């Protein structure tokens, strides 16, 4: 698969790169060739025009034949060209710089005839890497007093130009080769840089899936790949924490379940074996009954926590009056409060406090919080204050109990967290406030706990 990504990157980049290099070099070469051709053409035409001008001066008797020849020869010499001037009857008026005779191919002859008719013909076919002949030439009409009075022919040896062309092409080819080489190396390096971390991350993911421990991915870039590696490392850390939590939760659950079960089994076995005498049987059976009940509640709490956490719990919202609900809860809790010789005070600051919420869940919240207050208070009272808070309802549960150390308050909503050293018979599993917090969150409400050790605790909920 990674060979796949690597190969894909390399082939895509390389193809793209080579196509671009090819296009650029093709255009550069043809541009260079065209420029060279244009330059040569211009040189030939310029020389032709100058020759024509000299001829005019000669016909006007401004210069002598000797001067004419000297000028033309000088021009031919400087520009490295051979200039021929022919009369209309094709007899030669001037030939070459050293009087060299022309070797005229049939093509040149044809072009000469064209020039007699007034046309300028330029032949550049030899200006190429595989030229058959070694000259480029131009034939143009020699004009005097707007009359064609002959033909000017200029030959330019192209060996030098062709050598220049070859040299230029060689340079271009070398540059292309070096570019392709460096480009390929860069592409290979970039592709490795991109594909390697992905490969590493994927291999790590597979190993994590198998339950193996893997080291962090090294991050040496800040681009998307670096971000991916960072996220992966973070995810790995989260997974490790989650796994640790899972182990702790399983251990906690089994501990919480085992403790009451052990005492229930112990009591039943004691009764069956006759270790517990008849008079005491009822006492132990009622303890076993209470423990079994606690176990039932605990199981319900564990299921609630799991449901709330998985997000499968849906709110069943309705409008109701908080004052009525609070009255119900008050009656329900009264017995428990009396058992501990405490006082439960209900203060309704507002009447008809309307709420739109899941009534059963709000009831669960109230019972949990008041239950805690009762459970962790030995003497004094528990005060419930309800009021309207803008569009919301405010519930305060205050007790005069043992309180909670300040530094432990932030952990109270964690699963299985218990803040004091109450024995398991009195203390709970540490799930109540976790459930309360989840329900409050589902209603987009807030919950705050304030406490002083030895003085009491205040829980404020706004929903």
Ligand X SMILES: Nc1ncnc2c1ncn2[C@@H]1O[C@H](COP(=O)(O)OP(=O)(O)OP(=O)(O)O)[C@@H](O)[C@H]1O
The least CB distance from residue 409 to ligand X, in Å, is 9
| Residue 401 touching Mg ion (CB under 5 A) | no
Q: How many residues interact with ligand X (rule CB under 6 A)?
A: 23
- Identify which of residues 6 and 376 has a Cβ nearer to ligand X in the complex: 376
Biggest CA-to-CA distance, the chain: 160
Instruction: Quickly count: other Cβ atoms within 10 Å of residue 443's Cβ.
Output: 20
Q: Which does 301 bind (CB under 5 to 8 A by kind): ligand X, Mg ion, none?
A: ligand X
**Nearer residue to ligand X within complex by CB, 36 or 463:** 463
Least distance CB 197 / Mg ion (angstroms): 48
User: Is the Cβ of residue 82 or residue 398 nearer to ligand X in the bound state?
Assistant: 398
The answer to the question of residue 85 lying near ligand X (CB under 6 A) is no
Binds Mg ion (CB under 5 A): choice among 48, 141, 401, 432: 432
402 binds ligand X (CB under 6 A): yes
Angle at 241 between CA 213 and CA 311, to 5 degrees: 125
**Residue closest to Mg ion when measured from CB atoms:** 432
* Under rule CB under 6 A, residue 429 binds ligand X: yes
* Rounded-to-integer distance, Cα 36 and Cα 53, Å: 26
Give the pair of three-digit tokens for residue 330. Answer: 């008050």
CB nearer to ligand X: give 267 or 376.
376
- Give the full edge-to-edge strand order of the sheet including 456-462: 343-348, 381-389, 392-399, 456-462, 446-452
Give me the least distance between CB of 449 and ligand X, in Å please: 7
Q: How far is the CB of 334 from ligand X (least distance, A)?
A: 18
Helix-, strand-, coil-residue percentages of the chain, each rounded to 5:
60, 15, 25
Q: Contact, 141 vs 151, CB < 8 A?
A: yes
Query: Token digits for 343?
Result: 């006082």
SS (H, E, C) 280-337: HHHHHHHHHHHHHHHHHHHHHHHHHHHHHHHCCCCCCEEEEEHHHHHHHHHHHHHHHH
Stretch that binds ligand X, among 164-172, 241-249, 343-351, 412-420 (CB under 6 A): 412-420
- The gap between the terminal CA atoms of the chain, to the nearest Å, is 53
Q: Is 439 one of the binding residues for ligand X (CB under 6 A)?
A: no
β pairing state of 381-389 and 343-348: parallel
Min dist CB 417 to ligand X, Å, is 6
Out of 115, 139, 372, 451, name the contact with Mg ion by CB under 5 A.
Answer: 372
Residues in contact with 428: Cβ distance below 8 Å, sequence separation at least 6, in sequence order: 375, 418
One of 229, 376, 383, 393 touching ligand X (CB under 6 A): 376
- 401 makes contact, choosing from ligand X, Mg ion, none, with CB < 5 to 8 Å by partner type, with ligand X
Residue number with CB closer to ligand X (126 or 368): 368
Task: Please say whether the beta carbons of 386 and 353 come within 8 A.
Answer: yes
Q: Segment 297-326, which members bind ligand X (CB under 6 A)?
A: 301
Comparing CB distances to Mg ion, the nearer of 372 and 377 is 372
Strand partners, 448: 460
Number of residues in contact with Mg ion under rule CB under 5 A? 3
DSSP type of residue 463: -
Whether residue 352 contacts residue 323, with contact meaning beta carbons closer than 8 Å, is answered with yes
When asked if residue 430 is in the footprint of ligand X (CB under 6 A), the reply is: yes
* Contact pick of 420, 424, 446, 460 for ligand X (by CB under 6 A): 420
Which of the ranges 59-67, 127-135, 144-152, 430-438 carries the binding residues for ligand X, by CB under 6 A? 430-438
Find the part of the chain contacting ligand X (CB under 6 A) among 24-32, 133-141, 269-277, 368-376.
368-376
In the bound state with ligand X, the residue whose beta carbon lies nearer, of 52 and 377, is 377
Measured between alpha carbons, how far is 164 from 173 in angstroms, rounded to an integer? 14
- Which residues sit opposite 395 in a β-bridge? 386, 461
CB of 6 to Mg ion, least distance (A): 57
Q: Contact region for ligand X (CB under 6 A) — 33-41, 67-75, 181-189, 372-380?
A: 372-380
Q: Which stretch binds ligand X (CB under 6 A): 193-201, 268-276, 329-337, 422-430?
A: 422-430
Q: Is residue 401 a contact point for ligand X (CB under 6 A)? A: yes
Rounded Cα–Cα distance for residues 179 and 183 (Å): 6
Rounded CA gap, 179 and 24, in Å? 12
Among 150, 232, 399, 461, binds ligand X (CB under 6 A): 399
> Tokens standing for 5?
């990504």
**Nearer to ligand X by C-beta: 93 or 419?**
419
How many whole angstroms separate alpha carbon 368 and alpha carbon 83?
A: 116
* Angle, alpha carbons 116-121-122 (nearest 5°): 150
Pick one of 176, 404, 439, 447: the residue that binds ligand X (CB under 6 A).
404
Tell me which residues touch Mg ion (CB under 5 A).
Answer: 372, 428, 432
Tell me which residues touch ligand X (CB under 6 A).
Answer: 301, 372-373, 376, 399, 401-404, 412, 417-420, 427-434, 457
């Amino acid at each position: 698969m990674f060979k796949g990504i690597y190969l894909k990157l390399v082939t895509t980049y390389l193809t793209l790169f080579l196509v671009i290099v090819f296009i650029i070099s093709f255009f550069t070469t043809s541009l260079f060739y065209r420029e060279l051709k244009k330059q040569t053409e211009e040189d030939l035409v310029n020389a032709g025009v100058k020759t024509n001008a000299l001829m005019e001066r000669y016909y006007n008797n401004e210069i002598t034949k000797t001067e004419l020849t000297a000028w033309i020869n000088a021009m031919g010499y400087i520009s490295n060209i051979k200039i021929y001037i022919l009369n209309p009857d094709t007899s030669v008026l001037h030939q070459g710089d050293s009087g060299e005779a022309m070797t005229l191919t049939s093509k040149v002859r044809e072009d000469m005839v064209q020039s007699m008719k007034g046309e300028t013909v330029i032949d550049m076919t030899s200006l190429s890497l595989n030229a058959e002949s070694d000259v480029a030439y131009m034939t143009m009409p020699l004009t005097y007093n707007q009359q064609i009075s002959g033909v000017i022919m200029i030959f330019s040896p192209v060996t030098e130009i062709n050598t220049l062309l070859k040299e230029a092409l060689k340079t271009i080819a070398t540059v292309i080769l070096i570019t392709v080489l460096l480009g390929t190396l860069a592409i290979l390096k970039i592709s490795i840089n991109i594909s390697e971390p992905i490969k590493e991350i994927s291999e790590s993911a597979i190993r994590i899936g198998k339950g193996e421990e893997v080291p962090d991915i090294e991050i040496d870039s800040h681009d998307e790949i670096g971000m991916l590696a960072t996220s992966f490392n973070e995810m790995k850390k989260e997974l490790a924490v989650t796994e640790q939590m899972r182990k702790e939760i399983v251990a906690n659950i089994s501990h919480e379940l085992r403790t009451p079960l052990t005492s229930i089994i112990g009591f039943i076995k004691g009764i069956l074996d006759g270790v517990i005498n008849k008079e005491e049987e009822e006492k132990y059976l009622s303890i076993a009954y209470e423990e079994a009940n606690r176990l039932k509640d605990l199981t319900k709490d564990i299921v609630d926590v799991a449901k709330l956490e998985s997000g499968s719990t849906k709110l069943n919202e309705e409008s109701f009056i908080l004052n009525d609900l609070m009255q119900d809860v008050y009656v329900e809790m009264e017995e428990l409060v009396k058992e501990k010789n405490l006082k439960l005070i209900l203060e309704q600051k507002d009447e008809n406090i309307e709420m739109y919420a899941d009534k059963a869940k709000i009831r669960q919240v109230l019972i949990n919080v008041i239950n805690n207050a009762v459970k962790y208070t030995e003497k004094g009272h528990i005060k419930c204050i309800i009021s309207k808070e803008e569009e919301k309802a405010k519930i305060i549960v205050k007790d005069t109990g043992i309180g909670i150390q300040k530094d432990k308050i932030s952990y109270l909503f964690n699963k299985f967290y218990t803040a004091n050293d109450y024995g398991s018979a009195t203390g709970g599993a540490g799930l109540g406030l976790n459930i309360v917090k989840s329900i409050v969150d589902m209603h987009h409400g807030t919950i705050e706990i304030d406490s002083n050790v030895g003085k009491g605790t205040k829980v404020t909920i706004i929903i």
